[in-house]
Amino acid sequence: MSVSKPLFLGNWKMNMLPAEVVSFAKKFNNLMTPVTPADSGIAGSFTTLQLLSEGFAENKSVLVGAQNVHWEQAGAFTGEVSASMLKPLGLDFCIIGHSERRTLFAETDETVSKRAKAALEAGFAAVVCVGETKAEYEAGKTNSVIENQLKGSLADVGNEFLTKLVIAYEPVWAIGTGLAATPEQAESVHCLIREQLVDKYGNLAEVVPILYGGSTKAENIAGLISRKNVDGALVGGASLKPESFWALVENGRNAFVD
Ligand code: PGA
């Protein structure tokens, strides 16, 4: 599937049991005003994907995604899941290289790039995450860290996938801390990402949504998304309840500036 702007994606991380998934989908479907093309979505853990897919089967405004995918299709890779395994679930996208994967599970730019390519080749949109740590931020290294991560993470991603590519800028110091980046901070890094994308892919890279992630909620999304290069959000905590996620999507839609 192709992606469009704005885009608000929930990242449930290692949360949500089956009954909670069913209840979330039912409530979110009732709360939300449908739009075409889809502008919201949820990435669940592997065990929730079937239920998520069923829960949103009738609602084309909500995308469903996985939080990771391996680059090989099958083989001796204990604990991993391949694109061909995800394919029958009818998913739309995969998150790749979230900072929790990078810092806690030794994911590197090289593996992120291979996973992104596998997701895209399977027809999924790939949400490639980049972001600097608190120490890097405090040392003034944000721009160089982001440049290097983006370069390495997109090494295997060619022009042919541009309409399915999404970048998420998530400063690690802002994730789950309640301390979101300011709209100015986010826009400055998103500008840098946009320039780098245009350098690599040409002007067509303007279509790539660049999402901000890190302590977003209904109360702060408007300021962030009204910046030119902030095209949406990757949302952790605020996506776990249908009411808080819908409030964020609604406020985000209203304040979005392309
Ligand atoms: P948060 O998480 O919204 O809870 O800060 C964002 C993320 O990790 O994607």
Q: Choose one of 9, 11, 127, 248 to mutate for the ligand 1 pocket test, by most ligand atoms within 8 angstroms of C-beta.
A: 11
Q: Tell me the catalytic residues.
A: 98, 170
pLDDT tens string 52-99:
999 999 999 999 999 999 999 999 999 999 999 999 999 999 999 999
Instruction: Check pLDDT > 80 for residue 250.
Output: yes
CB 7 within 8 A of CB 239: no
Closest CA to ligand 1's atom 1: 236
C-alpha closest to that of 98 among 207, 172, 157, 41: 172
- Atom number, ligand 1, closest to the C-alpha of residue 99: 8
Q: Which two tokens stand for residue 184?
A: 């100015």
CB 222 within 8 A of CB 254: yes
Can you count the helices (H) and strands (E) in the chain?
10, 8
pLDDT tens string 232-241:
999 999 999 9
Is the beta carbon of 171 within 6 A of some atom in ligand 1? no
Is the beta carbon of 11 within 6 A of some atom in ligand 1? yes
C-alpha closest to that of 12 among 2, 3, 21: 21
Identify the pLDDT of residue 255: 97
Q: How far apart are CA 121 and CA 123, in angstroms?
A: 5
Identify the pLDDT of residue 258: 84
Instruction: Check pLDDT > 80 for residue 1.
Output: no
Q: In sequence order, what are the residues at sequence separation of 6 or more whose Cβ sits closer than 8 angstroms to the Cβ of residue 183? A: 223, 224, 226, 227, 230
Is the beta carbon of 180 within 6 A of some atom in ligand 1? no
Is the beta carbon of 214 within 6 A of some atom in ligand 1? yes
Separation of 120 CA from ligand 1 center, angstroms? 23
Identify the pLDDT of residue 2: 85
Is the beta carbon of 97 within 6 A of some atom in ligand 1? no
Region 118-123: mean pLDDT is: 98
Identify the pLDDT of residue 142: 98
Is the beta carbon of 103 within 6 A of some atom in ligand 1? no
pLDDT tens string 172-217:
999 999 999 999 999 999 999 999 999 999 999 999 999 999 999 9
- The percent of residues above 70 in pLDDT, for the chain, comes to 100
Is the beta carbon of 215 within 6 A of some atom in ligand 1? yes
Q: What is the pTM of this model?
A: 0.98
pLDDT band at 257 (very low <50, low <70, confident <90, very high): confident
Identify the pLDDT of residue 22: 98
- Atom number, ligand 1, closest to the C-alpha of residue 180: 5
- Atom number, ligand 1, closest to the C-alpha of residue 216: 3
Instruction: Check pLDDT > 80 for residue 14.
Output: yes
Q: Choose one of 216, 240, 244 to mutate for the ligand 1 pocket test, by most ligand atoms within 8 angstroms of C-beta.
A: 216
- Atom number, ligand 1, closest to the C-alpha of residue 234: 9
